[in-house]
Structure 1
Amino acid sequence: MIYPNRLQPGQTVGVIAPASPPDLNHLQRAIPFLNELGLHVKIAPHVSCTYGYLAGTDEQRLNDLHMMFADRDVDAIICAGGGYGTGRIADSIDYKLIKNHPKIFWGYSDITYLHTAIRQKTGLVTFHGPMLSSDIGKDDFDDFSKSMFHQLFQPVTLNYTQDISPLHVISEGESEGRVVGGNLSLLVNSIGSDYELNTKNKLLFIEDIGEEPYRIDSFLSQLQLSGKLEDAAGIIIGDFKDSQPKKRNESLSLEQVLHHYLAHLEKPVVSGFKIGHCLPHFAIPLGTKARLSSFSKTLVIQPGVS
């Protein structure tokens, strides 16, 4: 794995929008937070562009991504928001450029596709954390979530315990592995492509938003049939926001769906982590080693910067 260099006060963060158009008002309201961290901000040329449901054409969004990785004055890249669109550019990314210019890359939701593609093509550790337009620029962005950015300034071992949120054991066990994953629907979308998620001996993290139990059922079925659940060393279940049934009164609950696919696995499976489309938002590095234990109900993740 390649660990990006830690940030120093006075360095510069580049902002890109590789998926859907961000809310520009929320984006501008988020910039002072980065300034308070002692960072300068450089916004990519096409962040304010729109092309239907995309933040500019594929070429514009790809150019912004390449520009920020190539720019020697930019020390980290944070995504303005998610939505949809990163899978469209994955096949055109210059992964050699990224490998030769490794730096902090931060985002979540649709950015999951880029996390997987970049890690598996280059070995770069990236970060699953709150974004500018989607989270930081809103009134309810909380101090705990803000504190998660401190891990970018020094190597910090992250310890998730029940002091943060109640955790629930679905399958007992304790195991180690590198953390991979992200948004469940995006992970499923990668199957059959060159960017198909590798879960072999990994701790698989999943989260999602707005998906009813039957949809989550279909996603987990695909992961099961493709061997991803069996391959994983353990499973970290993050937040599933707005997952209640909407289309019909008769439905399995989210808990029933999770237990159907995961309770029989002879490995640790723990739910309740506040990682995903939620507040507080516990930001984590992807690609670093971690230990998940159902016995102590803890997740310990090694630092993501050098």
Structure 2
Amino acid sequence: MIYPNRLYEGDTIGVISPAGPPDMERLDIAIDWLEQLGFNVRLGQHVGDKYGYLAGSDQGRLDDLHQMFLDDTVKAIICSRGGYGTARITDRIDFDLIRAHPKVFWGYSDITYLHTAIRQQTGLITFHGPMLASDLGDPDVALLSKQLFSQLFQPMSLRYDEHLSSLESLSGGTAEGMLVGGNLSLLVSTIGTPFEIDTKYKLLLIEDIGEAPYRVDHMLNQLRLSGKLSEAAGFVIGDFHQDKFIDENKSLTYTEVFETYLGGLGKPAVKGFFIGHCTPHFSVPLGADAMLDADRKQLWIQPGVM
């Protein structure tokens, strides 16, 4: 794996919108926070563009991604928000350019597609964490969501246990492997493409928002039929946020769905992590080595920077 260099005060952070257009007022709030930490901030040329549900044209979003990686004065790239759009540009990304200019790359949700493609095409460790306009620009953002940004300043091992949230083991045991994954619907959308998620011997992280249990069932079944669940070493189940009330008399619960697909595989599986569309948001390095102990309900993750 390629470990990006840690960040130092005075470094320049690039901001891009590879998916949907950000709320510019909230983006400004998040930029102020980065500047208060001592960083310089450089916006991509097309960061505020709008083309329907996209942050401008595919070419513009792709150009910003390439330019930020190419510019060696930019030490990290943080996405402004998710939404939709990264899969539209992934097959045109110059992965040789990224491999030659590795640096911190940070985001989640729709950015899952880029995390998966970049890691599998280049070996670069990337970071699944809260974004600027959609998360860090929220006046009520949780302190922990900001504090976990410190893992970029020095090599830092992460530990997650029940001091942070209530966890539930669906299947016991321990497993070690590379932490991969992210947003479930985006992971499923890679199946059958050149960027299909590789789960073999890996700890698979899944999270999602606004998906009813039957939809989560549908997506986990697709991962099952494609062999992705049987190949994985274990499962880290993040937040599955549902705004609408679920009538449990007419639906399975999320837990019942997870138990159906993950509980009987004989692999450690733990649910309840504050990772995903939630607050606080526990950010993690994807591609880093990790260990999941489902009996003690603990997750350890090795540093993601050097």
Equivalent in the alignment of 1:34: 34
1:1-306 map, 5 Å: 1-242=1-242, 250-306=250-306
Alpha-carbon separation, structure 2, partners of 1:270 and 1:37: 34
Alpha-carbon separation, structure 2, partners of 1:240 and 1:58: 29
Cα distance change of structure 1 residues 49 and 233 upon mapping to structure 2, 3 Å threshold: same
Alpha-carbon separation, structure 1, partners of 2:60 and 2:188: 26
> Which deviations, in whole Å up to 9, do the C-alpha atoms of 1:240-269 show, x marking residues without a partner?
011656699611111111111111011100
- In the alignment, residue 237 of structure 1 is paired with which amino acid? I
Which ranges of structure 2 fall in alignment gaps of 5 or more residues? Answer: none
Alpha-carbon separation, structure 2, partners of 1:89 and 1:248: 39
Q: Give the deviation of 1:271 after TM superposition.
A: 0.3
Cα distance change of structure 1 residues 160 and 246 upon mapping to structure 2, 3 Å threshold: closer
Alpha-carbon separation, structure 1, partners of 2:247 and 2:272: 25
Give the share of equivalent positions with the same residue, in percent: 59
Alpha-carbon separation, structure 2, partners of 1:136 and 1:208: 19
Alpha-carbon separation, structure 2, partners of 1:54 and 1:246: 30
Q: Give the deviation of 1:43 after TM superposition.
A: 0.4
- In the alignment, residue 41 of structure 2 is paired with which amino acid? V
Which SS does the other structure have where 2:74 is aligned?
Answer: coil
> Which deviations, in whole Å up to 9, do the C-alpha atoms of 1:153-173 show, x marking residues without a partner?
000000001000011000111
Alpha-carbon separation, structure 2, partners of 1:245 and 1:190: 29
Alpha-carbon separation, structure 1, partners of 2:246 and 2:298: 33
Q: Which moved more, 1:253-262 or 1:242-251?
A: 242-251
Alpha-carbon separation, structure 1, partners of 2:37 and 2:99: 27
Which SS does the other structure have where 2:64 is aligned?
Answer: helix
Q: Which runs of 4+ in 1 moved over 2 A?
A: 243-249
- In the alignment, residue 128 of structure 1 is paired with which amino acid? H
Alpha-carbon separation, structure 1, partners of 2:70 and 2:125: 17
Cα RMSD for the two superposed structures? 1.2
Alpha-carbon separation, structure 1, partners of 2:65 and 2:163: 37
> Which deviations, in whole Å up to 9, do the C-alpha atoms of 1:55-86 show, x marking residues without a partner?
01000000000000001110000000000000
Pairs aligned (count): 306
Alpha-carbon separation, structure 1, partners of 2:25 and 2:204: 35
Return the TM-score normalized by structure 2: 0.98
Q: Give the deviation of 1:284 after TM superposition.
A: 0.1
Which ranges of structure 1 fall in alignment gaps of 5 or more residues? Answer: none
